[in-house]
Amino acid sequence: MRTLLLLLALTPVLHAQAVSRSADGRVYWVENPMPGETFQVYVGKGDVPPVLGAFSAENGRLVFRPRFLLADEVRAIFRGVVTRFPALRAAPVSSTVVEAVYPTADRLPENLLKFYVVFSGPMQRGEGWTRLQLLKANGTPVELPFLEIDQELWDPGNRRFTILFDPGRIKRGVLPLNEVGPALVVGETYTLVVDAAWRDAAGAPLRTGYRKKFTVTEAERRPIEPSAWRVVTPRAGSRDPLTVEFGRPLDAALALRLITRRGGSSCRRRRGRRESIG
């Protein structure tokens, strides 16, 4: 009798335990299994064979990765406990892309104040600062180049996102510029990176990421001189565009809002072509 009691004391108590699944449905696991234990995953009803895949031991878990993604309803059995998982919802497919980043020029002044990122459709708010990077020529990120305010700056349609450079690293004689240095250095080349994981209003990621490469020139401190602009007028009776060459990048959003056409009874205000600004 003493021997029997001893054997019972050494036998571990196996508690019932459910199987867990990752959000994307690609990984199933149980916590702290006993050596040699396993579980089965099934798709479909009736007498069907277990799903094929690979088991591995990872950080105290027994992990199962199916050979193929299981989109239908799934049931998993471990220690006699049946865990059911609903069919996976199809991930939304996005057609949203970055249409442009303004200024469009590839040579920009070291005291550049802002970028505008324009998307082809409405985007979700709250992700901007985790989806943007400014990289140096060697691929390392610039440390905190932007003014990351909690209230993101979007247009009313959530299609244009405004990136403000930290003004403390632009204005001369202020502490951040003196201690940390400028975000942009004359003569250096940088790349603004928009992550493809940025989600649109439907929750889908961008169809593709976006990269804008530019080289930094001397600071631009001259006042704007409209008299120096070159205006190319369309031919009479044609539908050719009116072209204005500014000679340097301007604030695209302000230019589109503040530059208007007047005169003539049939004239009406029309939005300028974005690609002609900056």
Give 107-132 pLDDT, tens digit per residue: 999 999 999 999 999 999 999 999 99
Q: What beta strand segments (E) does the chain contain?
A: 20-21, 28-31, 40-43, 53-58, 61-66, 74-78, 81-85, 98-102, 107-109, 114-119, 132-135, 160-164, 189-194, 210-217, 230-232, 243-245
pTM of the model: 0.62
Partners of 28 in beta bridges: 21, 64
Per-residue pLDDT of the chain (278 residues; tens, 9 = 90+): 454 444 444 445 556 678 999 988 899 999 989 999 999 999 988 788 999 999 999 999 999 999 988 888 999 999 999 999 999 887 677 789 999 999 999 999 999 999 999 999 999 999 999 999 999 999 999 998 999 988 899 999 999 999 999 887 776 655 555 566 789 999 999 999 999 999 998 888 999 999 999 999 999 989 989 889 999 989 998 999 888 888 888 888 888 888 877 765 444 444 444 444 44
Kindly state the tokens that stand for 44. Answer: 């479909």
For the segment(s) 98-217, the CATH number from 2.30.33.40, 2.60.40.1220, 3.40.50.300, 2.60.260.20 is: 2.60.40.1220
Short-list 113, 102, 148, 154, CA closest to 129: 148
Partners of 214 in beta bridges: 190
Distance of CA 67 to the CA centre of its chain: 29
- Whether 2-85 and 98-217 share one fold: the answer is yes
Q: Where are the domains of the chain?
A: 2-85, 98-217, 226-276
Q: Return d(Cα 118, Cα 99) in angstroms, integer.
A: 6
Find out if CATH 2.60.40 is the number for domain 2-85: yes
Q: Return d(Cα 278, Cα 114) in angstroms, integer.
A: 12
Strands 230-232 and 243-245, bridge-based pairing:
antiparallel
